[in-house]
Amino acid sequence: SQQGEEDPQALSIQEGENATMNCSYKTSINNLQWYRQNSGRGLVHLILIRSNEREKHSGRLRVTLDTSKKSSSLLITASRAADTASYFCATDDTGGFKTIFGAGTRLFVKA
Amino acid sequence: DGGITQSPKYLFRKEGQNVTLSCEQNLNHDAMYWYRQDPGQGLRLIYYSQIVNDFQKGDIAEGYSVSREKKESFPLTVTSAQKNPTAFYLCASTRSGVGFYQPQHFGDGTRLSIL
């Protein structure tokens, strides 16, 4: 069952602009993660935010979590062409063991 | 460098044939996972293993089989019973068998196609 759903499905911006991607989920979570996938490659973990955290930073990445709205956002500041990739949110299956991935946002950064 | 190695990168299957995808990790992780990714979609869990000699079915296990005889290795067999096997297959691992709060480490995938 799909838990996280990203929005938008695709995003095209100019280099230097900020990119914002959103993730909504249906049931309570313990944590939410964001991953990046370059074309034809595996996923790379970017950041994990726990349900008792509201915001987390890592370099040019800023993640927020609003558990009352069951949503999270990933902001990439000052984007670069190398940020072109698909970005996935993933939530844990509470009461279980599985991590559930959304369908992803495809980001294209034009140089 | 520690990581997960998947092979081959590309694989072609004939009708009625079983094929095996390799996944090896040198991260000393206990838990390993197999996912299937179809174009424009998220990852769907096929099988997972929390410890050697133990594994459980995920959401789409039909037509697939696995083994976990060594901690480092978690091969996936796509059997002839899987009627739509064309997809990108990803192997992942986590440090321990408990999934919460753990980032997953991924290999670079195997793309399987039908001849």
pLDDT digits (tens, 9 = 90+) for B48-100: 999 999 999 999 999 999 999 999 999 999 999 888 999 999 999 998 866 55
Alpha carbons B80 and B84: distance in angstroms, whole number: 9
Comparing alpha-carbon positions, the chain B residue that sits nearest to A38 is B108
Closest CA to B47 of B30, B35, B38, B37: B35
Q: Given pLDDT bands bounded at 50, 70 and 90, which one contains residue B39?
A: confident
Share of chain B above pLDDT 90, in %: 77
Share of chain B above pLDDT 70, in %: 95
Lowest mean pLDDT among B11-15, B18-22, B106-110: B11-15
Token pair 């995938």: residue: B109
CB contact under 8 A, A42 and B40: no
**What pLDDT is recorded for position A1?**
45
Is B4 exposed, middle or buried, given 0-12, 13-18 or 19+ CB atoms closer than 10 A? Answer: buried
Share of chain A above pLDDT 90, in %: 77
Mean pLDDT over the full length of chain A: 92
Share of chain A above pLDDT 70, in %: 93
Q: Chain B partners of A45 at a C-beta cutoff of 8 Å?
A: 103-105
Alpha carbons B22 and B19: distance in angstroms, whole number: 10
Q: Chain A partners of B58 at a C-beta cutoff of 8 Å?
A: 98
**What pLDDT is recorded for position A18?**
98
> How many CB atoms neighbour CB B88 within 10 A?
19
Which runs of E-coded beta strand occur in chain A? 5-7, 10-14, 19-24, 31-37, 43-50, 55-58, 61-66, 71-76, 85-92, 99-101, 105-110
pLDDT exceeds 70 at position B33: yes
Closest CA to A60 of A15, A110, A108, A29: A15
Phi, psi of A77 (to 5 degrees): -90, 150
Reduced to 3 states (helix: H, G, I; strand: E, B; else coil), residue A38 is coil
| Rg (alpha carbons) of chain B, rounded to whole number | 13
Give the best residue of B100, B101, B102, B113 to mutate against chain A (max A CB count within 10 A): B100
Closest CA to B42 of A108, A85, A100: A100
**What pLDDT is recorded for position B101?**
67
Q: Chain A partners of B100 at a C-beta cutoff of 8 Å?
A: 30-31, 92
Tens of pLDDT along A41-79?
999 999 999 999 999 999 999 999 999 999 999 999 999
Compute, in degrees rounded to 10, the torsion defined by CA atoms B25, B35, B107, A63. -110
Alpha carbons A57 and A55: distance in angstroms, whole number: 7
Q: Given pLDDT bands bounded at 50, 70 and 90, which one contains residue A94?
A: low
Alpha carbons B75 and B34: distance in angstroms, whole number: 9
